[in-house]
Amino acid sequence: MNHSLTVLEISLDAIQHNLDFFRSKIGNETLLLVVLKASGYGSDAIGLGKFLEQKGVDYFAVAYADEGIALRKAGVKTPILVLHPQIKNLDLMVENSLEPNLYSHHILNEFIQVCQKMNLKDYPVHLKFNTGLNRLGFRKGELATIFKVLSTEDSLYVKSIFSHLVASEDQGLHDFTLNQIAEFNKISNEFEKLWNYRPVRHMTNTSGILNFPEAHFDMVRLGLGLYGFANDKQYTDKLQNVFRLKSIISQLHPVDKNESVGYNLGYKASKKIVSATIPVGHADGLFRALGQNKIFVRVNGQKAPVIGNICMDMIMADVSDIDCQEGDEVIIFDSQEEILDFSRQANTISYEVLTALGPRIKRELV
């Protein structure tokens, strides 16, 4: 039950447009996986999961088991890859038909024991290989050892092998990416020789889909691009904005010259102004660093700078020159440009701005 008047609207029309755009960039036989981790990049993973399932998305991916379980409880049937499973949750994953990424000998052996204990046969798993990110994954030289472990094991089967690009958006690291792709090709070829079949292969993220078509393989993984961002202005301009964050004015305050607003006298009025208090703060994902006139909100179509320090539950904006009343709508952002400006002002990236939006903010699919 969320009765908050601060609302994140999520445009399904924009989601559809962005989905169609990325589908146009891949072959008809290439599978499409959509990443729904971190509440769908701060949106509504369950709502989007149901919507995208109707649109024929082939796979979903989440970071952790609980995210996949929530989708299953909501009735989502599409296969779900868990990118960073934890050993303590492997039983739960099987119970909820979630498919684990097995990235080390430790978790591989533990999952084999789970499969044997539960008398499973041909349970789908995914093997991740490290080609340069050095975060999770086996190395190419471990293939023979993995094969030795799995060659007599029929409780599971390798449905896909995959890797992750380090800097697919960075033209300055183009050669590094090409080396990653070449390494993954070697891993794929060696896997096929050992196992005598070809699993689904995938390694591209949003920027990889756009910049490295030679790395599409059998499936691509669409993350931030679905939500309107492509790490490249030429492509972001072709996508549609998905998010509209809005709130209301709780109270209007007359502030006299030389009076302050907010904690630690964060703003001092040089003249008489009117301040609007808005019920959203750093507990909701508006970083404290965004205060002190670094961002603006819009009230009745006009820009109102955010003044003083952002509070845990509230921000204050200067509405001196705006005809407004308590209860009027406030637009915090509703464009890619504004979200990217928030990112720049907070010295971060759009991923963090979106995924920081807290659960107190009500989500609405529109």
Active-site positions read 37, 263
How is residue 145 annotated by DSSP? H
Contact 159, 148 (CB under 8 A): no
E-only strand ranges, the chain: 7-10, 31-35, 59-62, 80-82, 99-102, 123-128, 156-162, 200-202, 219-222, 243-248, 251-255, 260-261, 267-268, 273-278, 296-299, 302-307, 315-318, 329-333, 362-365
- Tokens representing residue 131 in the block: 């080609």
**Per-residue burial over 132-167, b = 16 or more CB atoms within 10 Å of its CB, e = otherwise:** beeebbbeeebbeebeeebeeeebbebbbbbbbbbb
Spatial CB neighbours of 350, under 8 Å, sequence gap ≥ 6: 224, 229, 339, 340, 343
Contact 73, 62 (CB under 8 A): no
Parallel, antiparallel or unpaired: strands 200-202 and 31-35: unpaired
Task: Please tell me the total number of residues recorded for the chain in this structure.
Answer: 366
- The values of phi and psi at residue 160, to 5°, are -145, 155
**40 burial type by CB count under 10 A (0-12 exposed, 13-18 middle, 19+ buried):** buried
SS in 3 state form for 204-254?
Answer: CCHHHHHHCHHHCCCEEEECHHHHCCCCCHHHHCCCCCCEEEEEECCEEEE
Please state, in angstroms and rounded to a whole number, the distance separating the CA atoms of residues 73 and 75: 5
